[in-house]
C-alpha cells in the first residue's frame, strides 16, 4: 500500500510513501501500524489531511478542498459567513457525509473508519452540546464513558479541567443554571477529557468573556505543546493572529489562501498590515478575481 | 383605544401570535398542509357529532322537565369536564410563568406590562374555552337538535366554567409561588395538574366500568343512594346544570360568577405577573447543589454511559414524572377492579390486560421520543466513537428498562390473581412499548427535549401509528386473555399497521452503521 486513499476520492491520504495507520479495534488503545513497502517510517502523517473534499447543498458549500495540518500545529480557518468553514469541520468530525474527497486523521481514513477517527478527535461547536439536567461532573462522566476512558483517570482529568476553567464551584450544579460562557467552557472540558490528538473547534470563543477566553487560549496552547493539533474556525481574528501557527482563508467553499501570517500578508500584498486588513484584502481579491 | 400599548393592541398582537402558533402546530410549519388540516378538521367535526349522536341515542326525555337524577348526571359531567379544564389551565399558567420568551422585551419597554399580562390571562381562558368546546360542542349540538334550543345553554356553561378554571389556576399558581417559592412551584403545579387531569380520566373509567355492568349491583345501589342524599332540586348546587338546561337566571349567575372570578384574578395577578416571571427566570440562574460533591466516575462502556445518561435525564424530566404519575393514576380503577375481583371472584382480570398494554404503549412512545428524538447534544453523540446502531440499542434498552420498572409490579400482582392474564399482559406491555419505540425511531426528527409537548407535529403519521399500535395490541391482549383464537385478527391488523408505518417511514432505506 503506498498511501491510503479515501473512500471516494482517488488522491493519497498522506504524503507519498506514508501509510501510518491507527488501529481502531480497541477502544482504549490507538496503535500506529508500520508502513509497508515504499513507506518512509521517518515521516509522521499529518494530523489532518483533506484531499478534494466537496459538499453541496442547494449550492456548493465546499469545493475540491485540499488542506493539511501537521501534528502539533494550531491551524485557524477564517472566512466570511457562508464560506464553508463549519461544513468543512463537520465533515472532518463525521457529522456530515462529504460528497467527494478524502479525510485522513493521523493517517487514518476517516471515511472508511469513522469510529477510529472519532476516537482521537474532539469537536466543539459554538452551540454548546450539553444536557440541562446533568451536572458538569455528570456530563464529564458521560463523555468519558462515550470515549471509554478509564474512570479514575477521567475523574482526575475532569477535576483538573474544571479547576483550570474556573468551573469547580459549579461542578455539582445542573447545567441549566450555568451561563452560556460556562456551558461553552464545560463543553471544552468535555472535548479534552478524553485527551484527543486532534481538536476541532468551531467558534469556541462565542459567549466567553475576556478572562475566560484567555483561560481557554492558555489551555489550548498547553495542549499544542503536549503534541495535540488544533483546527479552529473563527471570526475572532485577534485570537487567530495570536494563537495560530498557520491560517487558512476560505471563501465560496474554497481555500483562497493558506500560510503563516507573513505569507498571507505577502499573498495579499498587505505589507505589515494586521490580520484583519490582510483577511479583508484576500477576500476582496477573491471576490474581484477571474 | 386601539393605539400601541392599549388592551386592543396587545390583544391583536397575542391573537396573531396564537393563530400562527396554532397553524404551525397543525401544519408542522408546512403552509401547503393548511388545506389538508381544514379537511381533517371538517372530518373530525362530523365524526365527533356522529359519536355524540350514538352516545346520546339511548338518552330519553331530553325535552322534559329535569328531575334530580338528570341534574345529578349533568353536574357529574360538568365536574369531570371542569377537572380537565382546571388541569389544562394550571399547566398553561405555570408555563406562562416560566417562559422567558419576550419577558425582558416587555418589562424593559415603556408599555404597561400589566395590560399585556391581563390580555394573556384572558387568552388562556379563550384557549381553555376553545378546548372545552372542541370536546363539548358536538354533545351540546346533538342535545339541542334532539331536546330543543334550551340545551344551547351548555355553551354558556362551558365558557363560564373555562373562565372559572383559569381564574382558579392563576390563584393556585400564585399561592404556590408564595408558599413554596418559584423553584418548587413548577414541579408541584405539574403534579397537581396531572392529578386533577387524571381525575377526569379516572371518572370516565369508573363511569365506563359502571355502565358496562361490571359492578352493576353496587353501581345501582350507590347511584340511587347518591341521588337520594343529594340536595333538593331547587338548591344552588344545581345552578350549573340548570344553566346547561338553558335556565336564564342560572346562566346569568354562572356567567356573572365567572366574570367576577377572572376579573379578580387579573386584578390581583396581572400587575405582579412580571415579578413572578422574573423570579422564575432568576431561579434558573441561582445556584443549587445536586448530588454528592466529588462523586466518583463510573467505569462504563459507551453503551452503559448512554443508558445511565438516559435514565438520569428521564428521572429528572418534570414532564415525564407528571406523565408517569398520570399513567399510574389511570391504572387506579383497574387496580380497584383487580382488588374486588381477587376477593369476590370473577373474570374482570381480563379487563386489566388492555389497560396495562395501552398505558405501556403510550408511555413507551413518550419515553422513546425523549430518548431518540429529544437528544439535546446530537453532535456530541454523533462525534463519539460509537456506531449508530449501538446508540440506538442503548437508548432502546433505557426505554424498555424504564417501562419494565413501572409495569412489572402491576403484572406481578396480576399474576397472583390470574397467571394467564399476567403472561398476556407481560407480552403485550413489551410488544406495545417495543412497537411505540420502533415507530418513534423510524419517524425520528431531532428536536430539543423542551419541545416534547409538540412532538406530534413532527409526524402525524407517527402519532396515529403509535396510537393505533397501542390500541391494536390492547385489543389483541384483551382477546388473548380470554383465550379466544380471535386475538389473531387484531394482532395481524396491528402488525400490518406497524409494517405500513415502516414502509412509509423516512427511516426505510437508510441503514445504521
B223-280 tens-digit pLDDT: 666 667 777 777 788 888 889 888 889 999 999 999 999 999 988 888 877 777 777 7
Q: What whole-number distance in Å separates Cα of residue B347 and Cα of residue B339?
A: 12
pLDDT value at residue B315: 82
The three cell numbers locating residue B473: 395490541
Query: Chain B contacts of A106, Cβ < 8 Å?
Result: none
> Phi first, then psi: what are they for A79, rounded to 5°?
160, 155
pLDDT value at residue B74: 86
Of B294, B378, B384, the CB nearest to A118: B384
Query: Chain B contacts of A143, Cβ < 8 Å?
Result: 380, 384
Q: Would you call B381 an interface residue with chain A, using a CB distance cutoff of 8 Å?
A: yes
pLDDT value at residue A36: 32
Helix (H) or strand (E) holding A202: strand A198-202
Q: What whole-number distance in Å separates Cα of residue B438 and Cα of residue B444?
A: 10
Q: Which residue of chain B has the CA closest to A157? A: B297
Q: Would you call A160 an interface residue with chain B, using a CB distance cutoff of 8 Å?
A: no
Q: Would you call B284 an interface residue with chain A, using a CB distance cutoff of 8 Å?
A: yes
Q: Would you call B386 an interface residue with chain A, using a CB distance cutoff of 8 Å?
A: yes
Nearest in space to B236 (alpha carbons), one of B217, B250, B222: B250
Nearest in space to A249 (alpha carbons), one of A43, A22, A83, A14: A83
Mean per-residue pLDDT pooled into runs of 10, chain A (290 residues): 33 34 38 34 80 90 94 93 92 91 94 91 86 89 89 91 92 87 92 93 87 89 91 89 90 90 83 81 76
Total count of residues recorded for chain A: 290
Distance (Å) from the alpha carbon of B396 to chain A's nearest alpha carbon: 17
Query: Chain B contacts of A95, Cβ < 8 Å?
Result: 379, 382-383
Nearest in space to A190 (alpha carbons), one of B311, B293, B305, B396: B305
Distance (Å) from the alpha carbon of B504 to chain A's nearest alpha carbon: 24
Instruction: For residue A1, give every residue at least 6 positions away whose Cβ sits within 8 Å of its Cβ, in sequence order, or none.
Output: A19, A36
pTM of the model: 0.68
Strand ranges (DSSP E) for B179-243? none
Please provide the DSSP assignment of B60-86 as one string.
--SSS---HHHHHHHHHHHHHHHHHHH
Query: Chain A contacts of B288, Cβ < 8 Å?
Result: 173-174, 177
Distance (Å) from the alpha carbon of B326 to chain A's nearest alpha carbon: 22
Q: What whole-number distance in Å separates Cα of residue A191 and Cα of residue B434?
A: 34
pLDDT per residue, tens digit, chain B (513 aa), is: 567 777 888 888 888 888 877 777 676 666 666 777 788 788 888 888 888 888 777 766 666 677 777 888 888 888 888 888 888 888 888 877 776 667 667 776 777 778 888 888 888 888 888 888 888 899 899 888 888 888 899 999 999 999 999 999 988 888 888 888 777 777 788 778 777 777 766 766 666 555 554 444 455 555 666 667 777 777 788 888 889 888 889 999 999 999 999 999 988 888 877 777 777 766 655 545 554 555 678 777 888 898 888 888 888 876 666 666 666 666 666 666 666 655 555 556 667 788 888 888 888 888 888 888 888 888 888 889 988 888 888 888 888 888 888 888 888 888 887 888 889 999 999 999 999 999 988 888 777 776 776 666 666 678 888 888 988 898 898 888 888 888 888 899 999 989 988 888 776 655 444
| B312:A125 CB<8 A | no
| B297:A151 CB<8 A | yes
Q: Which residue of chain B has the CA closest to A24? A: B385
| B377:A131 CB<8 A | yes
For chain B positions 434-463, those within 8 Å of chain A (CB to CB) are 449
Distance (Å) from the alpha carbon of A66 to chain B's nearest alpha carbon: 22
Distance (Å) from the alpha carbon of A168 to chain B's nearest alpha carbon: 10
Task: Mutate one of B289, B370, B385, B450 to test the A interface: name it (highest A CB count within 10 A).
Answer: B385
CA-CA distances (angstroms) from residue B119 to A288, B6, B10, B144, B251?
Answer: 55, 10, 7, 33, 25
Half-sphere CA count of A147, side-chain side, radius 13 A: 29
Q: Would you call A29 an interface residue with chain B, using a CB distance cutoff of 8 Å?
A: no
Query: Chain B contacts of A156, Cβ < 8 Å?
Result: none
pLDDT value at residue A190: 93
For chain A positions 88-127, those within 8 Å of chain B (CB to CB) are 93-95, 115-116, 118-119, 121-123, 125, 127
CB count within 10 Å of CB B63 equals 11
Judged by DSSP in three states, A112 sits in coil
Q: Which residue of chain A has the CA closest to B295? A: A137
10 Å CB burial of residue B54 (0-12, 13-18, 19+) is: exposed
Of B284, B293, B298, the CB nearest to A145: B298
The three cell numbers locating residue B347: 373474570
Q: What whole-number distance in Å separates Cα of residue A217 and Cα of residue A205?
A: 9
Instruction: Give the number of beta-carbon pairs within 8 Å between A and B.
Output: 126
Find the angle CA(B172)-CA(B175)-CA(B181) to the nearest 5 degrees.
Answer: 120
| B304:A145 CB<8 A | yes
pLDDT value at residue A169: 92
pLDDT value at residue B12: 84
Q: Which residue's C-alpha cell is 501537521?
A: A70
Query: Chain A contacts of B386, Cβ < 8 Å?
Result: 115, 118, 146
| B386:A134 CB<8 A | no
| B299:A95 CB<8 A | no
pLDDT in tens, B89-106: 888 888 777 766 676 677
pLDDT value at residue A39: 38
pLDDT in tens, B378-400: 888 888 998 888 888 888 888 88
Q: Would you call A86 an interface residue with chain B, using a CB distance cutoff of 8 Å?
A: no
Q: What whole-number distance in Å separates Cα of residue A248 and Cα of residue B37?
A: 50
Please provide the DSSP assignment of B126-168 as one string.
HHHHHHHHHHHHHHHHHHHHHH-GGGGHHHHHHHHHHHHHHHH
pLDDT value at residue B256: 94
Judged by DSSP in three states, A53 sits in strand
pLDDT value at residue B492: 92
Q: Would you call B308 an interface residue with chain A, using a CB distance cutoff of 8 Å?
A: yes
Q: Would you call B232 an interface residue with chain A, using a CB distance cutoff of 8 Å?
A: no
Amino acid at each position: 500500500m503506498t498511501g491510503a486513499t479515501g473512500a471516494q476520492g482517488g488522491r493519497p491520504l498522506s504524503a507519498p510513501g506514508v501509510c501510518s495507520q491507527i488501529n481502531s479495534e480497541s477502544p482504549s488503545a490507538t496503535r500506529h501500524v508500520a508502513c509497508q513497502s515504499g513507506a518512509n517510517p521517518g515521516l509522521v502523517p499529518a494530523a489532518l489531511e483533506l484531499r478534494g473534499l466537496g459538499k453541496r447543498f442547494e449550492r456548493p458549500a465546499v469545493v475540491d478542498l485540499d488542506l493539511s495540518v501537521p501534528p502539533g500545529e494550531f491551524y485557524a480557518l477564517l472566512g466570511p459567513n457562508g464560506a464553508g468553514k463549519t461544513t468543512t469541520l463537520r465533515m472532518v468530525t463525521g457529522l456530515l457525509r462529504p460528497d467527494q474527497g478524502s479525510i485522513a486523521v493521523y493517517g487514518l481514513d476517516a471515511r472508511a473508519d469513522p469510529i477510529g477517527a472519532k476516537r482521537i478527535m474532539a469537536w466543539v461547536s459554538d452551540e454548546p452540546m450539553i444536557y440541562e439536567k446533568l451536572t458538569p461532573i455528570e456530563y464529564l462522566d458521560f463523555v468519558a464513558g462515550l470515549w471509554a476512558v478509564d474512570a479514575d483517570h477521567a475523574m482526575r482529568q475532569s477535576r483538573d479541567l474544571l479547576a483550570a476553567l474556573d468551573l469547580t464551584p459549579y461542578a455539582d450544579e445542573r447545567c441549566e443554571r450555568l451561563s452560556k460562557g460556562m456551558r461553552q467552557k464545560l463543553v471544552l472540558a468535555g472535548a479534552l477529557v478524553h485527551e484527543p490528538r486532534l481538536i476541532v473547534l468551531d467558534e469556541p470563543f462565542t459567549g466567553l468573556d475576556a478572562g475566560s477566553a484567555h483561560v481557554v487560549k492558555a489551555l489550548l496552547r498547553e495542549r499544542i505543546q503536549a503534541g495535540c493539533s488544533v483546527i479552529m474556525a473563527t471570526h475572532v481574528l485577534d485570537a487567530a493572529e495570536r494563537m495560530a501557527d498557520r491560517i487558512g482563508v476560505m471563501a465560496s467553499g474554497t481555500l483562497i489562501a493558506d500560510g503563516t501570517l507573513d505569507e498571507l500578508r505577502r499573498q495579499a500584498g498587505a505589507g505589515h498590515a494586521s490580520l484583519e486588513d490582510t483577511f479583508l484584502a484576500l477576500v476582496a481579491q477573491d471576490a474581484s478575481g477571474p | 383605544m386601539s393605539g400601541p400599548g392599549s388592551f386592543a393592541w396587545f390583544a391583536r398582537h397575542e391573537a396573531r401570535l396564537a393563530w400562527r402558533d396554532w397553524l404551525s402546530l397543525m401544519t408542522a410549519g408546512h403552509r401547503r398542509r393548511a388545506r389538508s388540516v381544514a379537511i381533517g378538521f371538517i372530518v373530525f367535526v362530523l365524526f365527533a357529532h356522529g359519536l355524540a349522536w350514538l352516545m346520546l341515542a339511548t338518552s330519553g326525555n331530553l325535552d322534559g322537565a329535569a328531575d334530580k337524577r338528570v341534574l345529578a348526571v349533568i353536574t357529574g359531567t360538568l365536574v369531570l369536564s371542569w377537572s380537565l379544564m382546571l388541569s389544562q389551565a394550571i399547566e398553561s399558567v405555570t408555563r406562562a410563568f416560566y417562559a422567558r420568551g419576550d419577558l425582558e422585551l416587555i418589562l424593559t419597554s415603556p408599555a404597561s406590562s400589566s395590560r399585556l399580562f391581563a390580555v394573556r390571562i384572558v387568552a388562556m381562558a379563550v384557549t381553555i374555552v376553545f378546548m372545552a368546546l372542541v370536546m363539548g360542542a358536538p354533545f351540546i349540538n346533538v342535545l339541542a337538535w334532539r331536546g330543543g334550543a334550551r340545551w344551547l345553554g351548555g355553551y354558556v356553561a362551558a365558557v363560564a366554567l373555562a373562565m372559572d378554571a383559569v381564574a382558579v389556576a392563576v390563584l393556585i399558581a400564585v399561592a404556590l409561588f408564595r408558599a413554596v417559592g418559584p423553584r418548587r412551584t413548577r414541579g408541584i403545579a405539574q403534579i397537581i395538574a396531572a392529578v386533577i387531569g387524571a381525575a377526569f380520566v379516572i371518572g370516565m373509567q369508573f363511569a365506563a366500568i359502571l355502565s358496562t355492568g361490571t359492578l352493576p349491583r353496587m353501581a345501582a345501589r350507590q347511584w340511587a343512594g347518591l341521588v337520594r342524599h343529594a340536595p333538593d332540586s331547587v338548591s344552588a348546587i344545581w345552578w350549573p346544570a340548570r344553566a346547561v338546561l338553558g335556565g336564564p337566571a342560572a346562566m346569568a349567575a354562572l356567567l356573572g360568577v365567572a366574570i367576577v372570578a377572572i376579573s379578580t384574578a387579573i386584578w390581583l395577578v396581572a400587575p405582579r405577573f412580571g415579578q413572578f416571571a422574573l423570579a422564575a427566570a432568576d431561579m434558573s440562574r441561582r445556584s443549587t447543589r445536586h448530588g454528592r460533591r466529588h462523586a466518583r466516575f463510573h467505569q462504563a462502556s459507551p453503551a452503559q454511559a448512554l443508558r445511565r445518561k438516559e435514565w438520569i435525564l428521564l428521572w429528572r424530566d418534570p414532564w415525564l414524572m407528571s406523565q408517569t404519575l398520570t399513567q399510574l393514576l389511570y391504572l387506579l380503577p383497574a387496580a380497584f377492579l383487580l382488588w374486588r375481583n381477587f376477593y369476590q371472584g370473577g373474570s374482570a382480570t381480563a379487563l386489566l390486560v388492555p389497560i396495562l398494554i395501552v398505558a405501556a404503549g403510550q408511555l413507551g412512545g413518550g419515553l422513546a421520543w425523549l430518548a431518540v428524538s429529544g437528544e439535546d447534544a446530537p453532535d456530541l453523540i454523533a462525534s463519539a466513537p460509537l456506531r449508530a446502531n449501538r446508540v440506538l440499542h442503548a437508548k432502546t434498552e433505557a426505554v424498555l428498562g424504564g417501562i419494565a420498572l413501572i409495569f412489572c409490579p402491576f403484572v406481578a400482582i396480576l399474576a397472583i390473581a390470574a397467571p394467564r392474564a399476567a403472561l398476556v399482559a407481560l407480552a403485550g406491555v413489551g410488544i406495545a412499548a417495543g412497537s411505540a419505540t420502533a415507530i418513534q425511531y423510524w419517524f425520528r426528527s431531532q428536536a430539543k427535549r423542551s419541545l416534547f409537548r409538540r412532538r406530534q407535529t413532527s409526524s402525524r403519521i407517527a402519532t396515529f401509528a403509535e396510537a393505533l399500535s397501542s390500541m391494536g395490541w390492547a385489543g389483541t391482549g384483551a382477546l388473548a386473555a380470554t383465550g379466544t383464537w380471535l386475538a389473531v385478527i387484531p394482532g395481524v391488523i396491528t402488525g400490518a399497521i406497524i409494517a405500513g408505518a415502516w414502509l412509509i417511514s423516512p427511516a426505510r432505506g437508510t441503514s445504521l452503521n
